[in-house]
Amino acid sequence: MAPWRRLSVDREARLQVQWIVICFGVLLSFANNSSGYFYSDSSAEASNDRFCFCQLQGTIDDCSCSVDTVDYYNNVKIYPRLKSLLLKDFFRYYKVHLNKECPFWVDDSKCAMRFCHVEHCEEKDIPPGLKGDASSYHKYIKEVQTLTNCNEDLDVELGYLNTSISDKAHKEFQRWADYDEAQDNFCILDDHEPGSEYVDLLLNPERYTGYRGESARRIWSSIYLENCFQAHSVKKKNAYSAMIPYQDMARNEVCLEHRVFYRMISGLHSSINIHLCANYLLSEKSSLGFVSPAGVWGPNMEEFERRFSPHMTDNEGSHWLRNLYFAYLVEMRALAKAAPYLRNEEYFTGLERDDREVKTAVKDLLTVIEGFPAHFNETAMFSGGTSAIKLKHEFREKFMNISKIMDCVGCDKCRLWGKLQVQGMGTALKILFSGKFDDKIDTGFGTKLKQQSPALRLKRGEIVALFNAFGRLSTSIHELEEFRQRMR
């Protein structure tokens, strides 16, 4: 073929391709602006709704920051640090009582799935600094565990005076101290009770085990319908509702303290649901068809949509997801507020190198948390005199009751993570509202900085629960972004 002829054919082919592209563009444009001759509008809207319900935007209610800010700060700065920190021995071993009877109803409906079982630690696996008598408040202080002579009397005079006090009196003093300390608690602490055991959280990850049905529904029904604040104008909805419709909150028909309580519980519920959807039991068999001892786990998009999509939640699902961000901000504020105290902790396990690494990592994480630009403002709560004191007491009692309900969960693994996350949230509330962690006091002539009391102390279990509970919320926000990516 002559060269000029070949060029002419190539040019003609290019023109044909260009015309095809132009015509396709015109048709596509017409389709997008027509009543639907070329595609179904309903399917496009459904696809749009499917994507938009978890693509949150704008300011988080009762806070001053946006969803985008939290997403960036968590997924880029906080989540990677937390993920690494929570692998350390100090945070992975959690002491808990999983065999307490339900105090509210007789229920022997235990989960029959093999994945509901909790693997307890063997004595040899527990770090040396965590062994011993759990009834001692100061057993985790480094200096106490490194004394070379346990019979050494560090203060002869004081030791002499103590000999005149009977063992019975000592026990009474301890009971008084326990009572005084318990007045600041927002949840039950049972790691010192007979029957409590250490659990390795890494061997017992939070995921969907198959626990469902009436027993699971009763837990959330009791939390929402019996232990949350009741509003006269609010109609009772199903057990998975946040109880107060979003529109009522948006119109400020509910006071700030009640809104905070609801959003904390709803945010915790949303976080747990995201974990279950992200770590779902997809199959008990391996890819080769054999029964797998560990099971096959992974994200379940259908389950995620069932729990949060608008048409399955009466348009409340996206608001429940926003409550996750709210709970995250409240717990992050607690960590920032307690940062001066937490920096001075030894995080002692008896393994010197690990303890040093944990302390460095905690300081780094706290610095990042303190740098967050828009923390939750807890000082706006409980500021109305006598009525505020009564409201705080009711707030505390209701949350305490929720921590008791965790002993009614029929799945051991679900009970473990429920107790840990409720205890972590309760510790955050203790930091925010007990007054012991406030760095300023009102003197009547203005405010002044308060010196932190040397007796101020969080128990090891509280610290472990606080960081792990925040880690669960952080993981949920990270997993939510992964669900968005899958939907895209």
User: Tokens in use for 263?
Assistant: 């959003």
pLDDT at 407: 93
User: Tokens in use for 428?
Assistant: 């955050």
Confidence label for 452 from pLDDT (cuts 50, 70 and 90): low
From the list 406, 96, 404, the residue with the least C-alpha distance to 272 is: 406
Confidence label for 482 from pLDDT (cuts 50, 70 and 90): very high
Confidence label for 483 from pLDDT (cuts 50, 70 and 90): very high
Give mean pLDDT, residues 402-418. 93
- Residues annotated within a binding site: 207, 209, 220, 266, 269, 307
pLDDT at 283: 81
Average pLDDT over the chain reads 78
Distance of CA 71 to the CA centre of its chain: 15
Give mean pLDDT, residues 152-169. 57
pLDDT tens digits along 186-225: 888 888 889 899 999 999 999 888 787 788 888 988 888 8
122-131, 271-280, 458-467: least confidently modelled range: 122-131
pLDDT at 397: 92
- Of the chain, the percentage scoring pLDDT greater than 70 comes to 68
Whether 28 has a pLDDT exceeding 50, the answer reads no
147 to 129, 141, 152, 307, 460: CA distances (angstroms): 13, 11, 9, 54, 20
- Residues annotated within a binding site for FAD: 207, 209, 220, 266, 269, 307
The DSSP output letter for 27 is H
Residues 6+ apart with CB under 8 A from 361: 81, 84, 85, 88
Annotated catalytic residue: which of 187, 277, 408, 411?
A: 411
- In whole angstroms, give the CA distance from residue 309 to residue 97: 36
Residues 6+ apart with CB under 8 A from 7: none
310 to 53, 221, 317: CA distances (angstroms): 7, 21, 6
Whether 450 has a pLDDT exceeding 80, the answer reads no
- In whole angstroms, give the CA distance from residue 259 to residue 138: 37
180-194, 209-223, 239-253, 351-365: least confidently modelled range: 239-253
Residue 398 and residue 228 in contact, taking contact as beta carbons nearer than 8 Å:
yes
> Is 52 tagged catalytic?
no
User: Tokens in use for 291?
Assistant: 């029964």
Residues 6+ apart with CB under 8 A from 352: none
> Is 414 tagged catalytic?
yes
Q: Of 37 and 29, which is predicted with more confidence?
A: 29
From the list 117, 108, 187, the residue with the least C-alpha distance to 410 is: 108
- The pTM (predicted TM-score) of the whole model is 0.79
72 to 77, 86, 189, 291, 481: CA distances (angstroms): 8, 21, 34, 40, 10
Whether 45 has a pLDDT exceeding 50, the answer reads no
Whether 43 has a pLDDT exceeding 50, the answer reads no
pLDDT tens digits along 417-435: 999 999 999 999 999 998 8
Confidence label for 475 from pLDDT (cuts 50, 70 and 90): very high
119-133, 174-188, 219-233: least confidently modelled range: 174-188
pLDDT at 61: 85
pLDDT at 81: 98
Tokens 């060269």 found at: 3
107-111, 226-230, 242-246, 281-285: least confidently modelled range: 242-246
261 to 79, 187, 293, 331, 408: CA distances (angstroms): 25, 14, 40, 13, 21
102 to 378, 405, 410, 415: CA distances (angstroms): 33, 7, 10, 11
Whether 131 has a pLDDT exceeding 50, the answer reads yes
160-174, 310-324, 369-383: least confidently modelled range: 160-174
User: Tokens in use for 39?
Assistant: 């595609």
- 127 three-class SS: coil
pLDDT tens digits along 86-128: 999 999 999 999 999 898 888 666 776 777 889 888 888 899 9
Task: Provide the 10 A C-beta neighbour count for residue 213.
Answer: 11
Q: Dihedrals φ, ψ of 167, to 5°?
A: -60, -35
pLDDT at 169: 66
